[in-house]
């Protein structure tokens, strides 16, 4: 029997997921869980890089766990755990910090963006955030990392760190590959189709939350910024708004871009936007129902976390031990 390849990914518990998170990342995670040996984490340590209220974090962690499961992540098929429950993540991060260069971290575009947004709190954690992410991935001898386009640079850094470490001490880490979806990798804001859809956007109309009621979803799509033409045609350069809506519609219905162009030939943007809104609402409806049920089953969620932490801790511990041995700490 050939062993299944390992997948690792994670998201920060910073609020309710958006349609971008779902189409760009979560839906792939679900699709991969039969074919691969999947480990999915709620990366709560990462979210400390931005100031937070402890009570919010507590709630977001459990909520994200429920969102994962509601979206279709099955704790029977994969390991689902809270990053802070496995201390190896923090331990390996320190070690990898000593094998990562300031120059490398200085090039990270996400750091630059976040530093610009949080001028009063540019902490060292924000700077070394990608090293913690590398530790997450490398602890599990990961082959593939499903993420959206924006995480590609962090993944390349993880590969570089792993390669450097292996070069010095022999084969310690599996070198991970990114796994980025072709459709949905970058869902854009509904209000500014030049920037990505993000849950931290101050304009509520810019993003669809996984828990938005159907009326809200339809309304937000109705108000989506488009262009002054009337043709539904895919052209990212000249028609970024319509192209984004087409990608979304294609992602949730499975229809090709050509089919969509044909479907709306001779019809106005109004009809098209309504169709997109309704299709998205329909996709999210069962997820929302599941989510409500899960939040009410607190004991079940606690059990999932406990079992996940044990299973993850076992694998991570083996890698960490090997690292300690290799560098002379045993
Ligand atoms: P974040 O919301 O930045 O914590 O990202 C969590 C995951 O969702 C990462 O894998 C991102 O790459 C992915 N993601 C976030 N926003 C989008 C978006 N607008 N389109 C596609 N993927 C996204
Ligand atoms: N940095 C990722 C994000 O913002 C989250 C993350 C942390 C992650 N550790 C990871 C993603 C390991 C994939 C693998 O989306």
Pairing of the two strands 6-11 and 177-179: unpaired
Pairing of the two strands 6-11 and 37-42: parallel
Domain ranges of the chain: 6-185+298-327, 204-292
Structure confidence at residue 149 (pLDDT): 83
More confident: 270 or 186: 270
Lowest mean pLDDT, pick from 166-175, 195-204, 256-265, 279-288: 195-204
From the CA of 158, how far away is ligand 2's center (Å)? 11
Alpha carbons within 13 angstroms on the beta-carbon side of residue 261 total 8
Q: What is the dihedral of CA 315, 318, 321, 326, to 10 degrees?
A: -110
Annotated active-site residue 267? The verdict is no
- Set 4, 77, 112, 114: catalytic member: 114
Considering the domain 204-292 in this protein, what is its CATH number? 1.10.240.10
pLDDT higher than threshold 80 for residue 19: yes
Q: Which helix (DSSP H) or strand (DSSP E) does residue 179 occupy?
A: strand 177-179
pLDDT (average), residues 94-109: 98
Residue 24 confidence class, pLDDT cut points 50, 70, 90: confident
* Contact in structure between 125 and 94 (CB atoms under 8 Å): no
Query: Of all residues in the chain, what percent carry a pLDDT higher than 90?
Result: 92
Asked if pLDDT for residue 2 goes beyond 70, the answer is: no
How far is Cα 127 from Cα 111, in angstroms, rounded to an integer? 6
Instruction: Write out pLDDT tens, residues 164-191.
Output: 999 999 999 999 999 987 766 789 999 9
Residue 243 makes CB contacts below 8 A (sequence gap 6+) with 193, 234, 235, 236
From the CB of 24, is ligand 2 less than 6 Å away? no
71 burial type by CB count under 10 A (0-12 exposed, 13-18 middle, 19+ buried): buried
Please tell me the least confidently modeled range out of 21-25, 52-56, 150-154, 180-184.
Answer: 180-184
Smallest CA separation from ligand 2 atom 7, residue: 133
Measured in Å, residue 28 CA sits from the centre of ligand 2 at 14
Average pLDDT of the residues of the chain: 95
Going 111 to 114 to 118 to 121, the CA torsion angle's sign is negative
**At which residue do the structure tokens 């530093």 appear?**
115
Residue of 5, 55, 117, 199 marked catalytic: 199
State the average pLDDT over residues 190-212: 94
**269-296 and 214-222 helices, crossing angle to 10°:** 150
Positive or negative, the CA dihedral 129, 135, 137, 143 is positive
- What local confidence, expressed as pLDDT, does residue 146 receive? 92
Asked if 220 and 32 count as a contact pair (C-beta separation under 8 A), the reply is no
Of the listed ranges 22-36, 182-196, 232-246, 314-328, the least confidently predicted one is 182-196
Nearest to 259 by CA among 280, 236, 233, 278: 233
CA of 148 to the centre of ligand 1 (A): 5
Q: How confident is the model at residue 200 (pLDDT cuts 50, 70, 90)?
A: confident
Length of the chain: 330
| Percent helix, percent strand, percent coil in the chain, to nearest 5 | 60, 10, 35
pLDDT in tens, 41-81: 999 999 999 999 999 999 999 999 999 999 999 999 999 99
CATH number of the structural domain 6-185+298-327: 3.40.50.620
* Predicted pLDDT of residue 147: 87
pLDDT bin (cut points 50, 70, 90) of residue 100 is: very high
CB 30 within 8 A of CB 71: yes
The two tokens of residue 170 are: 């022999």
Q: Is the pLDDT of residue 23 over 60?
A: yes
Give the position, in ligand 2's atom list, of the atom nearest the Cα of 142: 14
Strands 144-146 and 79-82: unpaired
């Amino acid at each position: 029997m050939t062993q299944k390849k390992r997948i690792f990914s994670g998201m920060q518990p910073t609020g309710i997921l958006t349609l971008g998170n779902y189409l760009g990342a979560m839906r792939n995670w679900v699709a991969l869980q039969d074919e691969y040996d999947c480990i999915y984490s709620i990366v709560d340590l990462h979210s400390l890089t931005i100031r937070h209220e402890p009570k919010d974090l507590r709630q977001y962690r459990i909520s994200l766990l429920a969102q994962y499961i509601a979206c279709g992540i099955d704790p029977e098929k994969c390991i689902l755990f809270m990053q802070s429950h496995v201390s190896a993540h923090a331990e390996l991060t320190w070690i990898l910090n000593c094998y990562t260069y300031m120059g490398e971290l200085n090039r990270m575009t996400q750091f630059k963006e976040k530093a610009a947004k949080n001028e009063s709190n540019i902490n060292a954690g924000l700077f070394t955030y990608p090293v913690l992410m590398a530790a997450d991935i490398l602890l599990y001898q990961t082959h593939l990392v499903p993420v959206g386009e924006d995480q590609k640079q962090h993944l390349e850094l993880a590969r570089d760190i792993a390669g450097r470490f292996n070069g010095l001490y022999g084969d310690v880490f599996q070198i991970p590959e990114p796994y980025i979806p072709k459709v949905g990798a970058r869902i854009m804001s509904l209000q500014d189709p030049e920037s990505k859809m993000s849950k931290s956007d101050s304009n509520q109309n810019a993003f669809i939350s996984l828990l938005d009621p159907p009326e809200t979803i339809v309304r937000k799509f109705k108000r989506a910024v488009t262009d002054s033409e009337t043709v539904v045609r895919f052209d990212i350069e000249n028609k970024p708004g319509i192209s984004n809506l087409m990608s979304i519609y294609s992602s949730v219905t499975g229809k090709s871009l050509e089919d969509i162009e044909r479907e709306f030939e001779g019809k106005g943007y109004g009809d098209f936007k309504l169709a997109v809104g309704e299709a998205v609402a329909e996709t999210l409806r069962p997820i929302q129902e599941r989510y409500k049920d899960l939040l009410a089953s607190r004991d079940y969620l606690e059990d999932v976390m406990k079992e996940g932490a044990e299973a993850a801790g076992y694998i991570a511990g083996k890698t960490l031990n090997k690292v300690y041995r290799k560098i002379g700490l045993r």
